Structure 1
Amino acid sequence: MPPVLSVIAGMVDITGFYMLGNIFTAHITGNLVVASAVAVGGGPINLAQLAAIPAFILVLVLIWLIARFSRLTGPALVRLLLGVQCALLAAVLAVSVALKPATHPHGLIAGTAVMIAVAAMATQYALLRLALPKAVSTAVMTGNLSNAVLSIMDALSNGHPLMSADDGRLKQALRLLAGFVVGCVIAALAMPLMGDWVWALPTALAALVMIRPVFWGGR
């Protein structure tokens, strides 16, 4: 399942960035950097970009509460949180198709749509940490790329490896990195052709993951 979630994260991140006011929906670090640069150097303040940071935190808190009070664990919790993510992405699709926020990417409707997309990605983060704690992050590609490169260097070296040997983690990091890039490329190619309907791609993929337990070992 994590590689498929990584594809979804790539789709949502690049689509939100290009269509909803240049805001990273899955890459909160980017929003922190841009917001800090504006605060120091001056320039127009993107309120939605600033709001994305506390919104992400708030959704994490809400998902933790949902997980705690649901008392679900394992596949049952996975299915629940996948359903929340799918519902949020469907909401972004509905808003985008009905209200055309991309025509005014810095307007109120675009800001609302991007907050929902941020909530979907926060849900994905929480899903991995709460229900699949051993999984590698599906959206933070800096760590996956770093682990992959350093592990490959260890594998090519004849001396004692500098990192703990974990071929499984290396393979997983490479799959997630590839999945994120594939998601970005697919969404980038689809945006000129599909317009606001491009949000149907991550929504459909999220629905597929939710209803097909084969992706994550559910029943």
Structure 2
Amino acid sequence: MSSLNAKMIPAVLSVVAGSVDAIGFLGLGGLFTAQVTGNLVILVAHLVAGRGAPAATILAVPVFVTALGLTRLLAGALESVGFASLRPLLLLQLLLLCGFFLLCASAGAHIDPDATKAIFAGMLGVSAMAVQNALVQISLKGAPSTAVMTTNITRVMMDIGEMMLGRGPTDVAKVRDRAKRTWPAIVGFAVGCGLGATCETAIGLRSLALPAGLALLAVTMGTTAKIEGDQD
């Protein structure tokens, strides 16, 4: 059971990322919480065109980068005392997503994207996704990205090509195993986007309860997951 949980956590996290991204995009004026590339494109495009970029978009990239750095330092501190980082980082992500949800829910189904509360809430969402991106790299060695689907789709198609070319049995087995680990993240992200968009359309930013609930599930799974290199 513990091994199964470890394999399922990336799939659950991909649904979290997809739903948060879709809800944030629709409810916070086009803010990407999980896709920092999207925010960077919007920011540079506005600056080059001489248009004022939304405050949340301006802040998203530095906040994302800062949260990544702080997450790595936290994980390093945990590792230095022999404490596995997966569970604390999953819990940190959950707390940030809960803060994101509570701030948005307190403002009603819809909120002015340029309001201070909306900007601060959006940065909590961006920080939560930064933590998720970092923990996949740090605590789930060998897992695919749970938020960057361009890389995942490219990897799967390259692996399918390798299998079709009929390389040696060892190479084919390797790429087949990698494809098996990658495709659930792609499907999970797409499902998350669909669920997030549907819920946001129906109940607005209160739909952030969905990714928060899924993050709680990930924390629960993390408490029993057996991760390679786990020292607990």
Does the alignment reach a TM-score above 0.5? yes
Match for residue 201 of structure 1?
A: 210
Match for residue 41 of structure 1?
A: 49
1:169 aligns with 2:154: no
Q: Which moved more, 1:151-160 or 1:95-104?
A: 151-160
* Residue of structure 2 aligned with 1:185, choices 194, 208, 220: 194
Match for residue 106 of structure 1?
A: 114
CA distance in 1, matches of 2:179, 2:81: 27
Unaligned ranges ≥5, structure 1: none
SS of the aligned residue for 1:212 comes to helix
- TM (normalized to structure 1)? 0.90
- Counterpart amino acid of residue 210 in structure 1: V
Determine if contact 1:89/1:202 at 8 Å carries over to the other structure.
Answer: yes
CA distance in 1, matches of 2:158, 2:137: 24
1:39-79 CA-partner distances (Å, limit 9, x unpaired): 11222321210110000111111112212223368983111
Determine if contact 1:191/1:198 at 8 Å carries over to the other structure.
Answer: yes
CA distance in 1, matches of 2:199, 2:126: 21
Determine if contact 2:24/2:33 at 8 Å carries over to the other structure.
Answer: yes
Q: Which moved more, 1:196-205 or 1:98-107?
A: 98-107
1:18 aligns with 2:30: no
1:125 aligns with 2:133: yes
Identity %: 35
1:150 Cα deviation (Å)? 2.0
CA distance in 2, matches of 1:140, 1:179: 12
Determine if contact 1:20/1:101 at 8 Å carries over to the other structure.
Answer: no
* Residue of structure 2 aligned with 1:141, choices 131, 149, 152: 149
Map 1:39-118 onto structure 2 (within 5 A). 39-71=47-79, 76-100=84-108, 102-118=110-126
CA distance in 2, matches of 1:74, 1:188: 41
* Distance 1:132-1:212 versus aligned 2 partners, 3 A rule: closer
Determine if contact 1:209/1:215 at 8 Å carries over to the other structure.
Answer: no
Determine if contact 2:71/2:131 at 8 Å carries over to the other structure.
Answer: yes
* Distance 1:200-1:73 versus aligned 2 partners, 3 A rule: farther
CA distance in 2, matches of 1:111, 1:56: 14
1:108 Cα deviation (Å)? 1.6
Unaligned ranges ≥5, structure 2: 1-8
1:18-42 CA-partner distances (Å, limit 9, x unpaired): 1012111110111111111111122
Determine if contact 1:8/1:180 at 8 Å carries over to the other structure.
Answer: yes
- Counterpart amino acid of residue 217 in structure 2: L
Give the CA RMSD over aligned residues: 2.4
CA distance in 1, matches of 2:185, 2:82: 21
CA distance in 1, matches of 2:225, 2:151: 23
Q: Count residues in correspondence.
A: 218
